[in-house]
Amino acid sequence: MNLEIMWLDWTGLHVTPWKLVGYTGALMFGGRWVVQFFASRRAGKPVIPRVFWYMSLVGALMTLSYFLFSAKQDSVGVLQNLFPTFTAAYSLYLDIRHRGWHRDRAGP
């Protein structure tokens, strides 16, 4: 997974499968704010939809995996993504426990 993907050589970037995991995780982790923005705009008040916590958890796990298992093995990146992973998992647990597994789309 640390070998360069040759068909992406035209980009001038050194892209490996692990970097694709990292890029996807970073996009997912950052994209959760877009989801939160549109949910709040639709509701007319600040809300955090459950998909925000799913995106947080998956994005943090993907970027954590990148920093742990790629050739990068960067301890700063591990530490930076370790705490958000636990926070997102706990917040998702609380949301499911508080609102139920099959809650209405709009929610309280």
The pLDDT confidence band at residue 105, using thresholds 50, 70 and 90, is low
Estimate to the nearest angstrom the gap between the alpha carbon of 66 and the chain centroid. Answer: 12
Estimate to the nearest angstrom the gap between the alpha carbon of 106 and the chain centroid. Answer: 22
**In contact, 95 and 53? CB cutoff 8 Å:** yes
Residue 102 has pLDDT above 90, yes or no: no
Residue 107 has pLDDT above 70, yes or no: no
- What residues contact residue 34 under an 8 Å CB cut-off, 6+ apart? none
Structural domain harbouring 97: 48-101
Residue 94 forms part of a structural domain: yes
Residue 63 has pLDDT above 90, yes or no: yes
What sign has the CA pseudo-torsion 98, 103, 105, 108?
negative
Residue 107 forms part of a structural domain: no
Interval 3-49: pLDDT, tens = 777 767 777 777 788 989 999 999 999 999 999 999 999 999 999 99
Indicate the number of domains in the chain.
2
Question: Does the pTM exceed 0.75?
Answer: yes
DSSP line for 84-106: HHHHHHHHHHHHHHHH-TT--SS
Residue 40 forms part of a structural domain: yes
